[in-house]
Amino acid sequence: MSKELISGAEALMRSLIHEEVDTMFGYPGGAIMPVYDALHDHQDKIKHVLVRHEQGATHAAQGYARVSGKTGVVLVTSGPAATNAITGIADAMIDSTPMVVIIGQVGAALLGTDAFQETDVVSITQPITKWSYQVRQAEDIPWAIARAFYIAREGRPGPVVIDFAKNAQIAKFEYTYKKCNFIRSFVPVPEIDPWAIDAAAALINSAKKPFALIGQGVILANAENELNTFLEKADIPAGWTLLGSSAMPTEHRLNKGMLGMHGNIGPNIKTNECDVLIAIGMRFDDRVTSDLNTYARQARVIHFDIDPAEINKNVKAEVAVLGSAKQTLALVAEKLKPAKHTEWIESFTEYEKTELEKVIEPELNPASHEISMGEVIRKISEATDNKAVLVTDVGQNQMMASRYFKFTQTRSMITSGGLGTMGFGLPAAIGAKIGAPERTVCLFSGDGGMQMTIQELGTILQEGTGVKMIILNNNFLGMVRQWQELFFNDRYSETHMMNPDFIMIAKAYGIKGRAVSQREELDDAIAEMLSDDKPYLLEVKVETKGMVYPMIPTGSSISNIMLGDK
């Protein structure tokens, strides 16, 4: 604990290093300059990635956090930079990603005067953060940073905003650092109730047709092994939510597929047939449940979650098992009787057959000469041995990728689930590759989403980040066009896009790439893309009127699944 006099900016650097931060994503500006000056002396300890838009910094920090489990760190200036970061902060909040966002602010004397680049960031971000706080004196920085990291990562993770006034960055004080490991008003992990453990085990033991719903909570708790033991012991088939993807390997015999609007048929139908529904680290989002009045009404529900506010929020649970999945799954598993539900598990097969015949086969081996999205995705997944990290943007590309990519290890799926932010993909993929440099990172994006944050190609140029980017180009805002076809009589209002030459743009950024429009070229292009660890842009011209099936229309029951007519 040093007692020299240092500036608030220097104190911030030392506090971050104390918190074991080694990577930051950011963009300088007037109100944060003293911090950037202090950063200059610590380049050996903290790697700063210069993005091209503050939104890119937040999504990159998210990608980094999701793939590594560490807390993402963002550093931006005041005013428009802060407002540019709002999307990423809201995204991190709704998808529970640990992130500390340090935002510059005008000097305390100017606060409330409409000064240059002043915005009331603390108020604006309050509803979309776990905590937002303004530091007006240098002395408060160590306490605020320690608290910020504790809050961001403990319990259900989320974003924290620290608004750092310029005068506090400059003023000097005697610095000491103390890590935060207790806040009396904040109970991040609820105490485990032994009654709930017993009740859950008893209920599962009595089940004839148990079905588990696996969400991101399993991954956040690092409970993949505990989940495996739990499911195997009692022979429970499981479905996963979008953010729960890769918590279980795709080929696991108990893994019955994705839940929700564009999920697999079996998991959706069987949710309405099971007798005990076991929700683990998932929040019954409306994309998963569709119409709640017709959702799992026949089932007795057990809800494993770390956040008490999620219990009974959407679906009433008979048994709520509060706590971290890593502990609760293990405790319940101990009390489970080994069981076999062979017939019940077999009953999923007829739906798998139907889906294979009516939806999957036509998607993977299309009759037409037009390339389908699914076939590209499956080929690339296989070419990486199903070991790659999948990053997606939002829309048809996202739904197709989550259906046709395969996972063999955890933390392999990075996507904007709750907020559905177009433009998330590219910066998130950059953050992911930086967070897991040893893994292959594949980004699937549509032509629309790619252009929302295309400036981040500049980050790749500067950092040399070896992201493999695939644009599924149909010259349409695909998902919206699909809805216009299904529900708006093919009235394609503002969804057709005239697109630039993406490969030329990539080239301008020093990134190798290739455009493919014939099926025969695919394998070769994919091999070329994956042949080294350099950034690569593969543009595939896919079918213009592609449809993602199956589909459960909004407000419909999850048993009401559209299969299309391919």
Q: Which is nearer to other proteins, 17 or 189 (CB)?
A: 189
Partners of 162 in the beta sheet?
102, 133
Residues 109-128 interacting with other proteins (rule: CB under 8 A): 122-123, 126-127
Give yes or no for residue 99 binding other proteins (CB under 8 A).
no
Q: Which is nearer to other proteins, 64 or 131 (CB)?
A: 131
Residue 138 CB, nearest approach to other proteins (Å): 19
Which sign, positive or negative, has the C-alpha torsion 144, 153, 402, 211?
A: negative
Give yes or no for residue 489 binding other proteins (CB under 8 A).
no
558: left (phi over 0), alpha (psi -120 to 50) or beta: alpha
Q: CA-CA distance, 366 to 372, in Å (whole number)? A: 7
Of 10, 19, 54, 154, which one is the catalytic site residue? 54
Of 13, 282, 479, 547, which one is the catalytic site residue? 479
Report DSSP letters for 445-510, one per residue: EEHHHHHHSGGGHHHHHHH----EEEEEE-SB-HHHHHHHHHHSTT--TT-B-----HHHHHHHTT
Q: Is 261 tagged catalytic?
A: no
Q: Which is nearer to other proteins, 312 or 518 (CB)?
A: 312
Q: Which is nearer to other proteins, 125 or 246 (CB)?
A: 125
To which H or E segment does residue 76 belong?
strand 72-76
Residue 1 CB, nearest approach to other proteins (Å): 20
Q: Is 497 tagged catalytic?
A: no
For residue 271, which of 564, 342, 263, 400 has the smallest C-alpha distance? 263
| DSSP E strands, 156-198 | 159-165, 172-174
Q: Is 116 tagged catalytic?
A: yes
Cα distances from 297 to residues 60, 273, 291, 563, in angstroms, run: 40, 9, 11, 24
> What values do phi and psi take at 469, rounded to 5?
-105, 130
Residue 123 CB, nearest approach to other proteins (Å): 7
Q: Is 479 tagged catalytic?
A: yes
Residue 240 CB, nearest approach to other proteins (Å): 25
Of 117, 327, 455, 462, which one is the catalytic site residue? 117
Instruction: Give the angle 276-353-347 at the CA atoms, nearest 5°.
Output: 30
Among 43, 185, 293, 531, binds other proteins (CB under 8 A): 185
Of 166, 209, 406, 433, which one is the catalytic site residue? 166
Give yes or no for residue 178 binding other proteins (CB under 8 A).
no
Q: Which is nearer to other proteins, 130 or 403 (CB)?
A: 130
- Stretch of residues binding other proteins (CB under 8 A), selected from 31-39, 111-119, 178-186, 425-433: 178-186
Residue 307 CB, nearest approach to other proteins (Å): 7
Of 116, 382, 387, 518, which one is the catalytic site residue? 116
For residue 169, which of 320, 32, 296, 50 has the smallest C-alpha distance? 32
To which H or E segment does residue 429 belong?
helix 425-435
Could you give the string, one character per residue 127-146, with x where binding to other proteins holds by CB under 8 A and - elsewhere?
Answer: x--xx---------------
Q: Is 520 tagged catalytic?
A: no
Tell me, what amino acid is at 253? R
Give the three-state DSSP class for 435: helix
Total interface residues for other proteins by CB under 8 A: 18
Q: CA-CA distance, 304 to 383, in Å (whole number)? A: 36
Residues 261-320 interacting with other proteins (rule: CB under 8 A): 307-309, 311-313
Among 184, 340, 369, 491, binds other proteins (CB under 8 A): 184
Q: CA-CA distance, 469 to 444, in Å (whole number)? A: 6
Which residues have a catalytic role annotated? Answer: 54, 116-117, 166, 479
Contact residues toward other proteins (CB under 8 A) are 122-123, 126-127, 130-131, 151, 182-186, 307-309, 311-313
